Amino acid sequence: MKLDITHAILALKPGAEWNLRGDNYSGLEWLDKSQTKPTEEEVVRKLAELEYMDEINQYQRDRKVAYPSAGDQFDRIFHDGVEAWKGDIQGIKNVYPRKYPDPVELKTRQDKAVEDLKSS
């Protein structure tokens, strides 16, 4: 999924009322009376975070495609036992290991996004 400014705004200010004309912060019209408009830097930082987390969580999408259907998994358990099924599932988990966010990498990406914003 391609993440953009709308994803960042929704994550920063859930339920807020706003309009976006185009795909740039300059087109953001803030309508909400109870929440303050996020700064462009806040939006850029959040978008960098969302993109990083999307990369980290790619393993989940890869596993989902690789796992057999529930019916096939139950059939495997029925015919070959739970241990055989566990072996199949563990093999997929080994190919697509779980990843964890690195706070230093996240900060580096957020700082770079803000730096790019300021230099544009």
Q: What is the DSSP string of 53-107?
A: HHHHTHHHHHHHHHSPPHHHHHHHHHHH-HHHHHHHHHHHHHHS------HHHHH
The pLDDT, as a whole number, for residue 86 is 98
pTM for this prediction: 0.85
pLDDT over threshold 90, residue 120: no
Residue-wise pLDDT tens digits, 8-47: 999 999 999 999 999 999 999 999 999 999 999 999 999 9
pLDDT, residue 1, reads: 74
> Which whole number is the average pLDDT over 97-113?
98
Q: Summarize the chain as % helix, strand, coil (round to 5).
A: 65, 5, 30
Mean pLDDT of 86-115: 98
Tell me whether residue 8 is exposed, middle or buried, using C-beta atoms within 10 angstroms of its C-beta: 0 to 12, 13 to 18, 19 or more. buried
Largest distance between two CA atoms of the chain: 62
> For the segment 49-92, what is each residue's pLDDT rounded down to a tens digit?
999 999 999 999 999 999 999 999 999 999 999 999 999 999 99
